[in-house]
Amino acid sequence: MAAPRLIAIIGATGAQGIPIVRDLVQSGAYTVRALTRDASHPRFLELQSFSPSSSSSAAVEPIVGTFTSEDDLRATFRGAWGAFVNIDGFNAGEKTEMFWTIRAYEIALEEGVKVFVLGNLDYVYKKGGYKPEFRCGHYDGKGRIGEWILQQNQDNQDRMKAALFTTGPYMEMAISKHTAMPVSVEPSPDTGAPTAVWRLPLLSGAIPFVSLDDCGPYVKWLFDHPTRANGLDLSVAIAHVSAAELSGAFTKVTGRPAQVLADTPLDEYFSKVWPVDPDLPAAYNADPKDPATLSVRQNFTGFWNSFRHSAGNEGVIKRDYALLDEIHPGRIRSAEAFFRREDEKGVRKGLGTLWERVQPDAMAHVLKLSEDSRTGKL
């Protein structure tokens, strides 16, 4: 068997990074070097617990540093065959994220990386026809540079191939603490029965939810098939999930009542649902005085408007589900399948059923950002 190839990862300890590292390492085909600000964090130790079935030796090495340092980026990419880069826009803010994503691509080239995969999001401002209501900094900051990378790739592909891995809101956020789409368990006003309630300003739109566990197979496929991956924008989702599908799927799996209040006005969403002051910057290290900085309210208004205009896979955000079925035949294809898998996973891991896991005392963080209560510096 060929020696495992080294993949350098930015964002490895994050919600998205962990399942990607897990699946790359456990395949035995790859080892991972992860850039992190804290190699003693439990999430980094979790990465180091992953090993290929054929070996018990750790296959994840740390580079302690930040993506805002050229030296740290060089150290991360040096000698690596591949790179997976997910620059955290909720740390940096749109403007800074764009600069460091460009530098990450350039430095990966400089260091001789052969295959570069960008953790990307849809360029919703462009896809929505450049209408201001679709401006969403954490989507546009990635999507814009994603397009730039594919353009650069036309000149650079003989030296380094490049692909985009375009995701969307993790469905895990709908059952986790301190997210943009939290659930609360409340007595039904009609029957008094405990009911799972989501207050989401979705109207008749649909959320192109992503399953984190599916991210590993997709990203591994990109590294396994560099020629086909080259120049590809692999845009993934479980399905475009409407409000009725979300609540219906939850009830089917848990046997408990559920409701999505999809006509929640944006003002009520920001004042009652959002866990922090919506007039703060959407990124914890963005300068509030910089006119380029979007507030939570501005950023997430564009986020919801994009979903409001994506029902039926026909609007701003679209997916080629036939391609996804081909690349990952075992992928999660519906909200119900997602909740069922989560229910089984929770029971297997001793965390409880899905219903037990959405109770206020039991709910866990999925995002490292909220788990760490981040207010620190880049």
Ligand X SMILES: NC(=O)c1ccc[n+]([C@@H]2O[C@H](COP(=O)([O-])OP(=O)(O)OC[C@H]3O[C@@H](n4cnc5c(N)ncnc54)[C@H](OP(=O)(O)O)[C@@H]3O)[C@@H](O)[C@H]2O)c1
Interacting residues toward ligand X by CB under 6 A:
10-17, 35-38, 41, 66-68, 86, 88-91, 121, 138, 167, 169-170, 173, 367-369, 378
Least distance (Å) between residue 317 CB and ligand X: 12
Nearer to ligand X, 67 or 223 (CB): 67
Nearer to ligand X, 88 or 195 (CB): 88
Least distance (Å) between residue 24 CB and ligand X: 15
Nearer to ligand X, 13 or 301 (CB): 13
Q: Which two tokens mark 77?
A: 């990419």
Q: Provide DSSP, 111-170.
A: TT-SEEEEEE---HHHHTTS-GGG--HHHHHHHHHHHHHHHHHHHHTTT-EEEEEE---B
Nearer to ligand X, 169 or 205 (CB): 169
DSSP, res 82 = E
Least distance (Å) between residue 34 CB and ligand X: 8
- Pairing state between β 233-235 and 82-85: unpaired
Least distance (Å) between residue 286 CB and ligand X: 12
Nearer to ligand X, 197 or 215 (CB): 215
Nearer to ligand X, 140 or 195 (CB): 140
Q: Token match 């993949």: residue?
A: 7
Nearer to ligand X, 10 or 59 (CB): 10
70-77 vs 94-110: helix crossing angle, rounded to 10: 50
Nearer to ligand X, 167 or 254 (CB): 167
Least distance (Å) between residue 365 CB and ligand X: 8
Least distance (Å) between residue 190 CB and ligand X: 32
- Pairing state between β 183-187 and 239-241: unpaired
242 exposure class (CB count in 10 Å sphere: 0-12, 13-18, 19+): buried
CB atoms within 10 A of CB 186: 12
Least distance (Å) between residue 154 CB and ligand X: 25
Closest residue to bound ligand X by CB:
14
Least distance (Å) between residue 192 CB and ligand X: 33
The answer for residues whose C-beta is within 8 angstroms of residue 90's C-beta and 6 or more apart is 138, 282, 283, 284, 369
- Give the Cα separation of 310 and 173 in Å (integer): 19
The answer for residues whose C-beta is within 8 angstroms of residue 42's C-beta and 6 or more apart is none
Q: Which two tokens mark 344?
A: 């089984």
Intra-chain end-to-end CA distance of the chain, in Å: 40
